[in-house]
Amino acid sequence: MGVGATTNTARQRIHNQKEIDPQMKISYKTSGSCASRIEIEIDNGLIVDTTFVDGCAGNTKAVAALVRGMEVSEAVRRLKGIACQGDTSCPDQLAQALEKAQSDALAS
């Protein structure tokens, strides 16, 4: 990886951190998935903790464990559009919650 790539990666991380308040807790009411709500904690653009209320315990715990420590934008990129029963899923709802947090942070 060249110096330019490192600089671009660092710039992207700084940009991502500016998209979301340094510390943020979100409670998101889901729609169309087994989980009824998602509780998310974000610190400096990284997902610190995620808890799904209801839903398939094994799957939601696995998704929560996989996104822990991940940049918000990366989680959105990986999870957005995943469908389960219908046109959404618990992972897709998490992506939507994270996108909403980003847009709310930018609006304020």
What pTM value is reported for the model? 0.79
CATH number, position 20:
3.30.390
Q: What is the 3-state secondary structure (H, E, C) of the chain?
A: CCHHHHHHHHHHHHHHHHHCCCEEEEEEECCCCCEEEEEEEEECCEEEEEEEEECCHHHHHHHHHHHCCCEHHHHHHHHCCCCCCCCCCHHHHHHHHHHHHHHHHHHC
Q: Could you report the per-residue pLDDT of 68-91, keeping only the tens digit for each?
A: 999 999 999 999 999 998 999 999
Which has the higher per-residue pLDDT, 3 or 34? Answer: 34
Task: Summarize pLDDT for 8-43 with one digit per residue, the tens.
Answer: 554 454 444 445 557 899 999 999 999 999 999 999
Domain boundaries, position 30: 3-107
The total domain count for the chain is: 1
CB 16 within 8 A of CB 71: yes
Q: Specify the residue for token string 């500016």.
A: 18
